[in-house]
Structure 1
């Protein structure tokens, strides 16, 4: 990655980074500046560096990276030297590893003003890693593996420099996060700086105690573990405490308040509140452990595994049966497991998402037999689930995690749900918050409330009335399912009608559901009775074929036995408003769900303003509808689709980025998008490379775009397509596309 690297400061972090870069062949030429000649001599002797000096200027010739690894109060003179070098033509990247960021950025800005130079190539960074010992001989090449690295770019920081430094840290094993310098200093004041201060203070307090010998002699493992960090470098921590003074003082004030509260509970012998406080802390610590384990398990799973390379095509025809309905497949496993008796499911979706739900119930003691798309579930009843022996892995399935949260909140055992790197970024507070109102104890991770999700068992639930702030079938379903165990009535009011598979299937399993307009209610304490479920073809999967046929020069497809639940047919309604040639045939009812064959032919589409009442009824289909909009004549406008920003990716932004790569004019809105269609030309799209951010619907949507493309479209990160639509590439190739799957998993 770099021809010549200069490390300024050969402490533990600087020396470890140097060793990691050498071991991973990221450079073969490292020089170092340090004011301790012994450190330089040692580094030279062991072959860590090729040259060392106490004079930084003499080392900068031909350097393309400088890493500042000195105590935080010592950065100003380093920046002054580097500022002079920039004035003389130095163009290399600069980064740091300091534990505070505001003062480091302030130092760079001060030198910018003094010397009239730009530090645009300076990328402030902080690896959250360390060890008791310091210095060159304490270096560890794997010190950063499975640890966080925080980057705090300034407003003027060069984005290309950020990208390069991000790649550097990822290549030495770190997981990179970006945040503001102010946020960094506040977070680290609580999670790192305060604990170190307390450790130093506690050891100092005990060392001056009259019984200090006995205190240290009989100290338990907890004290040893906690006080270990007091063995860190005093100079470094002196500088950190002063550099981050404001944030640390706030953290100390907060700590003192909580400590005094605890002290008062002990004085008053308030056993109930002491137990509650200790129990909450215990659950929080366990959740923290799950979070750390999840971070380690996903560190090496961020690389893209599969790519689609798609040559232009013009024909899309034939009769096809698409994948089974994912929503119904999920719910059939859940309700079949909780029912009394044996449930047989046919047409089950064999995608990874639905299989994650199936495995989760197997992990909770349910006997489930599967032979292809036929599944036989031996239900255990409402109170028959058993505690899993490990975290429940939901893979990429947000539906599994959100609906299961409602079930797990009512169980008599503790549980943890984890997911893959994509799912681990998706918000779960939208179900956790109302579940807490029902009495559940649910913990999510971080300020965004993402997985892992920890749920404390044996909590009595109380029915509530919940007005959903945003239409979401997953939130509605989660709360209705939790309501099956709650005391009294649970009522959910949705602002717009959403898919009603949960209500229909509960009814099929013999559980009474009340519906009054947009209010849906259940009363807790009932039972589910096993029944057979026939899963229709998924209209969300059919949508890709529908749009493909509509935009193709030669388009004519029949899609067999597709579910046309009226809460899911928004995609048909929107395409018809755009002028699509769509007809339904052989309409019937299967397992309580309406089903039909859908016939779509080549169409001249027109841009429209999408009615907001249709948005919740087509929420999963909008990525491919954006492709249809690009092939329409005139402008298409979407509002009221904030939900798209919290799917597997921010589907509004990611689709807009891809459309722009392919030459389509579009504007991102807070709650939607405007797309200027080019329907009057044969080749609406050019060629190009698309990052689908491991979002299956993004990948499949841009695959469809090849029917109106002038050149090859390459889509990276397509391995998640298997989560919802197994054999998608094979099926669309059979209809006329030219999809080459590279790196198939």
Structure 2
């Protein structure tokens, strides 16, 4: 909850504690759906000592009094308004000026105080303010124009619902002439009936609503009229599919109300219609021309945008939201067995979208990881005008726009929880002619971005990060405003980071001269490999990688291998459990990513690689791993960058090893989705493991024992004794933390519960199902959401 929200909540509590009700008497003018629903909500929540209403429909007034909703009511304002301190106008917009005239007369007659709060629930705001000016001469100090974004198919008094406004937005126009008390009490009223209050200027409100509400209603009315006018209208309505019913549902709304709204907001609606006409004509021409690529681009972007904006506004994942704030409840099991396929490599999936979009021609991608992080990258390029078909079972078709074909996004580019997306895209966007803004969810917005922003500035980029720690949102100024291209630089990475290296290499594609990156240790080289696969020259000289700007990329076929970072969880699972043998097929074994295999082998894990080949320029192999008698080691620092994402699950392996394991040189782990060293240490200690956090690593005292880890009579390693206790683990919404402690359950004495596992979908959708397939017992519990 924000400070502002807390302030309003405290105000509400104070007001409601200091008096029985917010208002002495509320007068509702108009007992249609909105007016009657608000009256019912006020009554049910005890927000007014008295409630009166004005409506020309006498049966509605009589029924409301008989049902004890109203204290009294009438067709005339003067009969009931005396003593009211809040008037709610809920009549069609064209009738509001006449209501204002009645209110002014009541003030002149002494029935109402001149500072009485006056509000409305109309869909337009500029005309309401103009009408008030015309009647009162100047705006009353109690006038608070408002618009609840809520409704229903049925209208009238009988359609009222006290919960109509719960979890809906209400827009308040805070006028400079309005008293602070009037604004505060209106905000408290709407919050008390369950609405979320936001503020907006009146003219901006009318323009936004013309597009999002008024235009859809106009189109729905028009489509129904069009079909009803056909000679064969009966068959058209008889065979209308669900899409027609869903789209035209709103045409069942009150015609008089919408007639008035269309006239009241004439200018904004005509502008929205004109813009819609341009888009419609474009669509018509694409169908005539049978332009498949362009039409798919529009349809694909529209489909994705419909989902994307909902996630962006709510900062929720792209995949199944039913498991938000979910938990794993894991019953210990002892053995894993079988042959499984791991989802596609996340790093390569990101880069296939980026380079495929910037290439000339079409790129076909197979094995694409349909996790949230990669979907964030996909959506960003759709937002910048790239036509992308899919994903469909890991298959994508990308219609590249070339090196200079990206278009500015009309909204900030939302990266979700993906640090890779934000850092790599920063390099691409720093070279574009247009301005860009990169934003992300709450977790991503805490992660450091100056590590890419600073060297990009050295190339001539203009990037503004947020706050003292240099976090997102990132604002990037377009080259058109700066007037010159980026300049190639020689840059020495302070740490071995594939994300920083890739960001600068991508920026170098548009830079004048050569960009050379020197890294202290080898880091994953997917960017270099994929640039070469797309035909862009890359020079590698030891730990120095160079690109020269001005080249082009050519589309082709990209096969994404299985992700070794995801495979690592199952490699450790088989190594630490009893009588296990697990084969993982066609896993990427890029030598800059195989640190996890090297480290496990140093710990004496039984790992065999077979069927080694190359897919899309990347080496792959089947990996078989058996139960192993692991030993603790001092992890060589040169292997740290090659296994940086796998250390959480390697900590689980170290806990099951005999003796001490020491990790140093891993500060990078502190700035991932969480501080993975601190969070893992906290969880390990909860489960009974002795470990010590250091500045750049972790020391783990393994609980494997020499006599317990010997082979049984059948020849299998006997890893049956528990290493971990049970307990409740907080993953800090870090996907790798959650999956690592799931693996720990194989050597736990009792049940383990892991909270915050919904982010597993960022890198490994279907993890729990696959784990259960090989013998684990993971229950996903979303009831805690």
TM over 0.5: yes
Contact 1:424 1:452 in 2 (8 A): yes
Q: In the TM superposition, what whole-angstrom CA distance separates every residue of 1:240-280 from its partner, at most 9, and x where no partner exists?
A: xxxxxxxxxxxxxxxxxxxxxxxxxxxxxxxxxxxxxxxxx
1:359 and 2:379 matched: yes
1:440 and 2:461 matched: yes
1:693 and 2:732 matched: yes
Q: Once superposed, what is the RMSD of the aligned Cα atoms?
A: 3.3
**Separation in 2 of the partners of 1:14 and 1:618?**
43
1:419 and 2:443 matched: no
Which secondary structure state, in structure 2, belongs to the residue aligned with residue 609 of structure 1?
coil
Contact 1:17 1:141 in 2 (8 A): no
Which secondary structure state, in structure 1, belongs to the residue aligned with residue 732 of structure 2?
coil
**Separation in 2 of the partners of 1:509 and 1:526?**
11
**Separation in 2 of the partners of 1:581 and 1:630?**
17
**Separation in 2 of the partners of 1:309 and 1:14?**
34
Contact 1:409 1:440 in 2 (8 A): yes
User: Counterpart in 2 of 1:663?
Assistant: 688
Which secondary structure state, in structure 1, belongs to the residue aligned with residue 592 of structure 2?
coil
User: Counterpart in 2 of 1:707?
Assistant: 746
Question: Using a 3 Å threshold, how does the CA distance of structure 1 residues 390 and 138 change in structure 2: closer, same or farther?
Answer: closer
1:403 and 2:424 matched: yes
Contact 1:556 1:602 in 2 (8 A): yes
**Separation in 2 of the partners of 1:644 and 1:141?**
48
**Separation in 1 of the partners of 2:781 and 2:581?**
28
Q: In the TM superposition, what whole-angstrom CA distance separates every residue of 1:72-98 from its partner, at most 9, and x where no partner exists?
A: xxxxxxxxxxxxxxxxxxxxxxxxxxx
- The list of structure 1 runs, each at least 4 consecutive aligned residues, that deviate by more than 2 angstroms after superposition, is 12-23, 40-48, 130-146, 171-174, 293-305
Contact 1:391 1:417 in 2 (8 A): yes
**Separation in 1 of the partners of 2:759 and 2:589?**
25
Structure 1 residue 554: Cα displacement: 2.5
**Separation in 2 of the partners of 1:537 and 1:402?**
23
User: Counterpart in 2 of 1:608?
Assistant: 633
Which secondary structure state, in structure 2, belongs to the residue aligned with residue 477 of structure 1?
helix
Contact 1:428 1:449 in 2 (8 A): yes
**Separation in 2 of the partners of 1:514 and 1:14?**
56
1:99-110 equivalences in 2 (<5 Å) = none
User: Counterpart in 1 of 2:771?
Assistant: 732
User: Counterpart in 2 of 1:578?
Assistant: 603
Q: 2:348 aligns with which of 318, 324, 328?
A: 328
1:457 and 2:482 matched: no
Q: 2:327 aligns with which of 307, 322, 328?
A: 307
1:230-245 equivalences in 2 (<5 Å) = none
Q: In the TM superposition, what whole-angstrom CA distance separates every residue of 1:77-133 from its partner, at most 9, and x where no partner exists?
A: xxxxxxxxxxxxxxxxxxxxxxxxxxxxxxxxxxxxxxxxxxxxxxxxxxxxx9999
Structure 1 residue 388: Cα displacement: 1.1
Structure 1 residue 427: Cα displacement: 1.1
Q: 2:668 aligns with which of 643, 656, 660?
A: 643
**Separation in 2 of the partners of 1:675 and 1:579?**
17
Which secondary structure state, in structure 1, belongs to the residue aligned with residue 417 of structure 2?
coil
Contact 1:294 1:452 in 2 (8 A): no
Structure 1 residue 393: Cα displacement: 1.1
Contact 1:298 1:421 in 2 (8 A): no
1:580-595 equivalences in 2 (<5 Å) = 580-595=605-620
Structure 1 residue 360: Cα displacement: 1.1
Contact 2:358 2:405 in 1 (8 A): yes
Contact 2:731 2:737 in 1 (8 A): yes
Contact 1:402 1:431 in 2 (8 A): yes
Q: In the TM superposition, what whole-angstrom CA distance separates every residue of 1:681-739 from its partner, at most 9, and x where no partner exists?
A: 71111111111111110110010010001111111111111111111100000011110
Structure 1 residue 20: Cα displacement: 4.0
Which secondary structure state, in structure 1, belongs to the residue aligned with residue 445 of structure 2?
helix
1:87-236 equivalences in 2 (<5 Å) = 139=184
**Separation in 2 of the partners of 1:607 and 1:173?**
55
Contact 1:609 1:637 in 2 (8 A): yes
Q: TM-score, normalised by structure 2?
A: 0.60
1:33-52 equivalences in 2 (<5 Å) = none
User: Counterpart in 2 of 1:558?
Assistant: 583
Question: Using a 3 Å threshold, how does the CA distance of structure 1 residues 136 and 662 change in structure 2: closer, same or farther?
Answer: farther
Which secondary structure state, in structure 1, belongs to the residue aligned with residue 689 of structure 2?
coil
Q: In the TM superposition, what whole-angstrom CA distance separates every residue of 1:381-439 from its partner, at most 9, and x where no partner exists?
A: 10011111111111111111110111111111111111112111111111011001101
User: How many residues are treated as equivalent by the alignment?
Assistant: 500
1:519 and 2:544 matched: yes
1:719 and 2:739 matched: no
**Separation in 2 of the partners of 1:317 and 1:724?**
23
Which secondary structure state, in structure 2, belongs to the residue aligned with residue 433 of structure 1?
helix
**Separation in 1 of the partners of 2:536 and 2:190?**
50
Contact 2:22 2:185 in 1 (8 A): no
User: Counterpart in 2 of 1:126?
Assistant: none
Question: Using a 3 Å threshold, how does the CA distance of structure 1 residues 300 and 540 change in structure 2: closer, same or farther?
Answer: closer
User: Counterpart in 1 of 2:395?
Assistant: 374
**Separation in 1 of the partners of 2:6 and 2:375?**
45
Contact 1:304 1:716 in 2 (8 A): no
Q: Which runs of 5+ in 1 are unaligned?
A: 1-11, 32-39, 49-129, 147-170, 175-220, 222-292
Structure 1 residue 294: Cα displacement: 13
Which secondary structure state, in structure 2, belongs to the residue aligned with residue 667 of structure 1?
strand
